[in-house]
Structure 1
C-alpha cells in the first residue's frame, strides 16, 4: 500500500506538508485535536487538585494519618515521577511517534491513579503517585509536540497557552468533586478520597476513546521517511475542510528537503541543546524552573494554608479552589492572543514580572495578618491570572524553539529539570514552612518564588526567541534539513 512506503535512512524527502499545515484555516479537525489531546492538562489539573484538596482528609484518615511533611513528600513523589516519566517517554516519543506514546502514557496514568485509591500507607501512596506523575510527565512531551506540529503558525501561541491553561478546568472539576466527596455529611471521608482518585481513572478512560481517531503528526512522519502516510493525512484534512465550506488553497506550497532518519543520537541532541542552541536552552531552563517552583510550591500546599492559617474546614476547601481556578483559566484565554500579535518576548516578560510582583505584595499582606480566607483567595485569583499565561508560555517556548527531531525530548528535558529543581523542592519546602505555623517563615518562601519569576522576566525580555506567527521550521531549522 502507498501509505506504508518508507524511505530508507539517508534518503531525501522533498515535501510541502509543513507549509500546507500552517496555511490551513481553523476547522473542526483542529478543534477535535485540541479537545482530545489538550484534555491531558485537565487530567493533570484534576490530579493536582485532588492531591491538594484531600490533604486534610489524608491527615485525618484513621488508616493513613499523614502529617503536613508527609503531604509535602507525596507532592514531591508525584513531581519526581513526572520528571523521570517526561525524560523516558519524551525520548521514546521522538523515536516511536507522537500517537503511540500518547496512548502508552495515558495507560500508565489510568492504572496508577486507580491504584492510588487503594493505598494503605505512606509508601504505597507515594509509589502510586510517583507512577501517576510518570504518566502525566510523558503526556506533556507527547501532547505538546503533537499539538504544536498540527496547529497553524498564526495561532500557535494562543492555542498552546489556552490548552496549557485548561489544567485549571481540571482543577475546578477536582474542587467540585472534593466538595461532595470530602463532606462527612454526604460520605465517609475515608471512602471519599478513594472515590476521588477512582473518578480520575474513569475520566481518563473516556479520553482514551476520544484519541483513537487522531492521526500521527505528519511532520514526524516525513522526517522518518513515511512521506506517503503524511501526504494521505494532510490531503484528508484538506478534503474534510473543503467539504465543510472552508477555502483551502490548491496550489503547491513552499517545500523543504529533509534527510530521512529513524532516530536522532543522544550525542546530536546534546550538541543541539548545549552548543548550537545553548542560548535558547538557558532561557528555557530559567522559565521552566521559575514557574515550576512558583506553581508547585504554592498550589500543592494551598489547602494546608487555608486549613492551618484560616481555619477553613477540609470539606469547604474546594469552594476556595474554584475562583483560583477561574483566574488561571482566564489568563491564557484573555492574554494568549497577544503572544501572537504583540509578540513572545514582551508578553513572556510582562506575565512573569506581574506574577512575581503581585506574589511579593500578597505575601506581605498575609504575613501582616491583613487577609481573610476570602481576600487571600481573591489575591491568588489575580496573581495566577498572569502566572497561568506565564507558565503556559514556558511550555510553548521549549517546544517551538528547538528542531523537530528532538522536540518531544526537549520539552521533556526542560519540564524534567525545571520541575526537578523548582517543583520537587517546592512542595517539600513549603510543607516544612507551614509546619512551623509561622506566617513570617511562609512569607520568606513567597518572596523567594517572587524573585525567581522576576529574574525569569528579565531573561525573557532580552533573550527569548521571537517565534510569533513563524513556521516551526523557520523558528528552528530541522537537523535533517538539506539546502
Structure 2
C-alpha cells in the first residue's frame, strides 16, 4: 500500500514534487496510480450513477430531433400559435439546430479540456434546459429559430463533455459497452419522440396550440431531473491529475473506493502500474492540431472515415423516410411515426446487444464488421427495392436489420475518437469529429439525399441507398486496417498523455 502527498488511500496514491503534490498546473511533476485504480474497479452502483447522470442526455437529443420532424405539419397550421411554414421547421430550424450543435461542440469542447469535465457538463445541460424551455414559448418564427440554435448549441457541448467524462470514469473492462449503450440511447429518445408526437398532434387530447409546446416543455423537465442527478457526479480524477490537482483526484478516488468496498464487504485488489505526469500549462490549438493530425494522423483518418460513413448511411435512410413510405407504399403521412418508432427500436438494440462484444471480441473486429454488415445489408435492401419485392412492412424490417448493425457502428465512432487521442486533447477531438459528422449529415445529407428520395423515381432512391452503403463499407475497410485495439486497456496506454514523461505505449499510428 502506498500513500501520496495528499489524503492517504487504502489502495494507492500519488507522490508529487513542486506545487506540493496538489496545486495548480505548471511546473513540477507527480507520479500516481489513480488511472490504474479507476480501471481495476468492479462494476458498482456508483457506476450506474455515472451512467444515469451523464448518459441519459442522449435520450433528450433523440427526443428533440424526432419531435421537431414529426410536428412540423402542426406548427405550420394557422391555429398553432406560431407563424411558420413546414419548410421552415424542417429546413431553416433544422439547419440552425445542426449549426448550433457543431458550433457548440467546438466551443464547449475547448473549454471542457481547459476548465474540466464537470463544470462544463453542468453548464451545457443548463443551456439546453433553458433553450428548449424557451422554445416552447415561441410565438414568432425568429424566436423559434434562435432557441433551436441555442438548444443545439447546448447539445453539441454535451457530446464533448459527457463522452470524455464517461470514458475517464468507467473501468477499462466496461468502457466499450457502456459508451455504446449510452450513445445508442439516442434512439430511446427517438422512440419516445415518435410516440409523443402522435399524442401531441391528437387534438382530441390537447389543443393544437398547446400539444407541441408541451413536448418541448417535457424535454426541459427531463433535463432538470438529469441535472439534479448530475450534481453527484465528480470531476474526472484523470483531468485533475494532469492539471496538477492530484490531491483532489486522490480524495475523489479514495471516496469511490470506500463506497465500493463498503458495498462489497471486502478490500479491493491492489492496482497495477503508475503514471508520471509533468505539470504544464494549457495545451494550445496548434498543439492539439499537431497531435491529432500529425502524431496520430492514421487515427485521424480512422475517425474521419467512421463519422462520414455513418453520417451518409443514416441520411440515405432517414432523409425522405416518410416520403418513401408515402410515395411508394401509400402509407398515410400521419402513420409514418409508427414505422419510425420500429426502426428506432432496432437502432437501440444494436448497441445494447452487441456492446459487450466490443470489450471481448475487440474493437477492430467489431467496428469493421458492424460497418461492413450494415453497408452490405443496405446494398441488399436497395436491390430488393429496385426489383419491387418490398412492402412498407418488409422495407421497414430491412431498415431495422441495417440499422441494428449501423447503430452499433455509429456509436463505436464516438467511442473510438474519445479513447484514441491523448487526455489533453480528448474533448476537443470528440468535438471536432462530432461536428464533422453532424455537418456532413445536416448539410451534405439534405443536398444529396432529400432530392434523390423526393423525385418519386425508384432508381433515384436506390442510388441514395447505394451511396450510403458504399461509404459505410469503405469506412469498415478503413477500420479493419487502422482501428486501435483499445479493449480492456487503460486510456493512458492507448494514448499516452502529452503531460506524461513516459514514452507512448502504442506508437504514433
Residue of structure 1 equivalent to 2:369: 350
Asked if 1:39 corresponds to 2:56, the answer is yes
Inter-partner Cα distance in structure 2 for 1:297 and 1:57: 26
Which one is further off, 456-465 or 431-440?
431-440
Deviations 1:114-137 (A, max 9, x none): 232234455543332222111111
Which one is further off, 331-340 or 118-127?
118-127
Asked if 1:199 corresponds to 2:218, the answer is yes
Q: What secondary structure is seen at the aligned counterpart in 1 of 2:42? A: coil
Contact 1:148 / 1:160 at 8 angstroms: preserved in 2? yes
Inter-partner Cα distance in structure 2 for 1:208 and 1:269: 30
Inter-partner Cα distance in structure 1 for 2:266 and 2:468: 48
- Residue among 450, 459, 462 paired with 1:440: 459
Inter-partner Cα distance in structure 1 for 2:269 and 2:389: 63
Residue of structure 1 equivalent to 2:177: 158
Residue of structure 2 equivalent to 1:341: 360
Change (3 A) 1:96 1:333: same
Residue of structure 2 equivalent to 1:416: 435
Change (3 A) 1:313 1:391: same
Change (3 A) 1:73 1:183: same
Question: What's the offset of the Cα at 1:308?
Answer: 4.7
Contact 2:183 / 2:411 at 8 angstroms: preserved in 1? yes
Question: What's the offset of the Cα at 1:248?
Answer: 4.3
Contact 1:345 / 1:466 at 8 angstroms: preserved in 2? yes
Question: What's the offset of the Cα at 1:349?
Answer: 0.9
Contact 1:116 / 1:129 at 8 angstroms: preserved in 2? yes
Residue of structure 2 equivalent to 1:288: 307
Residue of structure 1 equivalent to 2:195: 176
Inter-partner Cα distance in structure 1 for 2:78 and 2:267: 59
Residue of structure 1 equivalent to 2:505: none
Contact 1:355 / 1:453 at 8 angstroms: preserved in 2? yes
Residue of structure 1 equivalent to 2:294: 275
Contact 2:315 / 2:449 at 8 angstroms: preserved in 1? no
Cα RMSD after superposing both structures: 2.3
Which one is further off, 325-334 or 177-186?
177-186
Inter-partner Cα distance in structure 2 for 1:194 and 1:368: 43
Asked if 1:81 corresponds to 2:100, the answer is yes
Contact 2:176 / 2:359 at 8 angstroms: preserved in 1? yes
Residue of structure 2 equivalent to 1:360: 379
Question: What's the offset of the Cα at 1:408?
Answer: 0.5
Contact 1:56 / 1:314 at 8 angstroms: preserved in 2? no
Inter-partner Cα distance in structure 2 for 1:287 and 1:307: 31
Which one is further off, 257-266 or 456-465?
257-266
Which one is further off, 55-64 or 125-134?
55-64
Asked if 1:57 corresponds to 2:74, the answer is yes
Deviations 1:150-192 (A, max 9, x none): 1111121111111111111111211221121112332334432
Change (3 A) 1:317 1:185: farther
Using structure 1 for the length normalisation, give the TM-score: 0.94
Question: What's the offset of the Cα at 1:23?
Answer: 0.3
Question: What's the offset of the Cα at 1:252?
Answer: 5.2
Any residues of structure 2 matched to 1:447-458 within 5 Å, and which?
A: 447-458=466-477
Asked if 1:406 corresponds to 2:425, the answer is yes
Question: What's the offset of the Cα at 1:297?
Answer: 5.2
Contact 1:328 / 1:388 at 8 angstroms: preserved in 2? yes
Question: What's the offset of the Cα at 1:81?
Answer: 1.3
Change (3 A) 1:442 1:191: farther
Contact 1:293 / 1:422 at 8 angstroms: preserved in 2? yes
Deviations 1:286-328 (A, max 9, x none): 1012112322453354344444544444443332232212211
Inter-partner Cα distance in structure 2 for 1:368 and 1:59: 37
Residue of structure 2 equivalent to 1:470: 489
Residue of structure 2 equivalent to 1:149: 168
Contact 1:56 / 1:304 at 8 angstroms: preserved in 2? no
Which one is further off, 335-344 or 21-30?
335-344
Q: What secondary structure is seen at the aligned counterpart in 2 of 1:13? A: strand
Inter-partner Cα distance in structure 2 for 1:193 and 1:252: 53
Inter-partner Cα distance in structure 1 for 2:471 and 2:91: 21
Q: What secondary structure is seen at the aligned counterpart in 1 of 2:174? A: helix
Change (3 A) 1:48 1:344: same
Asked if 1:139 corresponds to 2:155, the answer is no
Inter-partner Cα distance in structure 2 for 1:365 and 1:76: 32
Inter-partner Cα distance in structure 1 for 2:139 and 2:328: 29
Question: What's the offset of the Cα at 1:414?
Answer: 0.8
Higher relative contact order (CA closer than 8 Å, sequence separation 6+): 1
Change (3 A) 1:248 1:447: farther
Question: What's the offset of the Cα at 1:40?
Answer: 1.4
Inter-partner Cα distance in structure 2 for 1:125 and 1:7: 43
Residue of structure 1 equivalent to 2:404: 385
Contact 1:141 / 1:411 at 8 angstroms: preserved in 2? yes
Asked if 1:13 corresponds to 2:30, the answer is yes
Contact 1:57 / 1:314 at 8 angstroms: preserved in 2? no
- Residue among 348, 354, 357 paired with 1:329: 348
Residue of structure 1 equivalent to 2:137: 118
Contact 1:82 / 1:136 at 8 angstroms: preserved in 2? yes
Inter-partner Cα distance in structure 1 for 2:445 and 2:491: 33
Question: What's the offset of the Cα at 1:225?
Answer: 0.7
Residue of structure 2 equivalent to 1:427: 446
Contact 1:324 / 1:381 at 8 angstroms: preserved in 2? yes
Question: What's the offset of the Cα at 1:221?
Answer: 0.4
Inter-partner Cα distance in structure 2 for 1:246 and 1:334: 31
